[in-house]
Amino acid sequence: MYIGLEIEYYKSFEMISDSAIEDYRKKAREASVDEVAKYVIGQIDRKDIIDAKELAGKIFPQKHAHVFLSHSHRDEREAIEFALSLEKRKVTVFVDSCVWGYVGDLLWKINEHYSEKKEVDGCTNFSYDKCNEAAASLYLMLNEELHRMIDACECLIFFNTKNSVRIKGHEGFSEGDRTLSPWIYSELAFSAKTRYHKLTRKRLTRGIVESMEAHRERALASASFAFEVINAHLPKLSGSELKTLAKKSAHEAEFWLDSLYYEYDLEGRFKDQCRASQLKSV
Rounded to an integer, the average pLDDT of 199-218 is 61
pLDDT of residue 2: 92
Local confidence band at 275 (pLDDT 50, 70, 90 cut-offs): confident
Quick check: 113 pLDDT over 80? no
Question: pLDDT at residue 36 above 80?
Answer: no
User: Who wins on pLDDT, 264 or 205?
Assistant: 264
Span 125-182, pLDDT tens digits: 777 777 787 778 878 888 888 898 899 999 999 999 999 988 876 556 566 788 888 8
With beta carbons less than 8 A apart as the criterion, state whether 256 and 249 touch. yes
pLDDT of residue 215: 45
Grade residue 212 by pLDDT with cuts at 50, 70 and 90: very low
What is the distance between the alpha carbons of residues 21 and 87, in angstroms, rounded to a whole number?
Answer: 13
pTM: 0.79
Find which of 28-32, 52-56, 181-185, 192-196 is predicted with most confidence, using mean pLDDT. Answer: 181-185
Q: What residue segments make up the domains of the chain, in order of their start?
A: 3-281
pLDDT at position 146, please? 87
pLDDT computed for residue 58 by the predictor: 72
How far is Cα 54 from Cα 40, in angstroms, rounded to an integer?
10
Lowest mean pLDDT among 45-59, 66-80, 136-150: 45-59
| Averaged pLDDT for residues 266-270 | 93
**Distance of alpha carbon 203 from alpha carbon 220, whole angstroms:** 26
pLDDT at 198 > cutoff 90: no
Q: Is residue 217 over pLDDT 50?
A: no
Q: What is the pLDDT of residue 122?
A: 78
**Weakest-pLDDT range from 42-51, 162-171, 205-214, 227-236:** 205-214
Q: Are strands 47-50 and 227-228 parallel, antiparallel or unpaired?
A: unpaired
Radius of gyration of the chain (CA): 21
Over residues 7-12, the mean pLDDT reads 90
Give the side-chain half-sphere CA count within 13 A for 209.
20
DSSP calls for 142-182 = HHHHHHHHHHHSSEEEEEE-TTT--B-TTTT-SSS-EES-H
> Strand, coil or helix: what is 245?
helix
